Amino acid sequence: MNLRPLGDRVIVKPVSKEEITKSGIIIPGTADKERPEQGEIIAVGPGKMLDNGSRAVMNVKVGDKVVFKKYSPDEVKIDDVEYLVLSESDIMAVIE
């Protein structure tokens, strides 16, 4: 099943963060059960419809790694894979 975002929304696959302590113990990103704030864009909508009938250009593209607001995305689970749906305005930066 494919997800096709509408308007200025994007579909993001969350990136889990792993922490390594000074002694070398790996703490997986799921240990604290916090929602991720980074991810990779896997689908981009056509852009927001403007008042003049044209569409705004999206500033992100598929494959971009992004940082977004912690509590803004909506979670969607398809085929046991978790995705996040959020508006382009909730993306704070592209990781280069």
- The enclosing domain of 46 has a CATH number of 2.30.33.40
Between 46 and 23, name the one with better pLDDT.
Answer: 46
In a domain? residue 26? yes
In a domain? residue 3? no
In a domain? residue 13? yes
Could you tell me where the beta strands, DSSP code E, fall in 1-96?
9-14, 19-20, 26-27, 38-44, 65-68, 74-78, 81-87, 91-95
In a domain? residue 40? yes
In a domain? residue 1? no
Tokens of 45: 């909508």
Show the domain range for 75.
Answer: 9-95
What's this model's pTM, rounded to 2 decimal places? 0.76
Could you read off the pLDDT of 46-68 as tens digits, one per residue?
A: 999 999 999 999 999 999 999 99
Confidence of residue 31 (pLDDT cuts 50, 70, 90): very low
Which among 41, 51, 50, 53 is positioned nearest to 9, based on CA atoms? 41
Domain count, the chain: 1
Q: Is 72 left (phi over 0), alpha (psi -120 to 50) or beta?
A: alpha
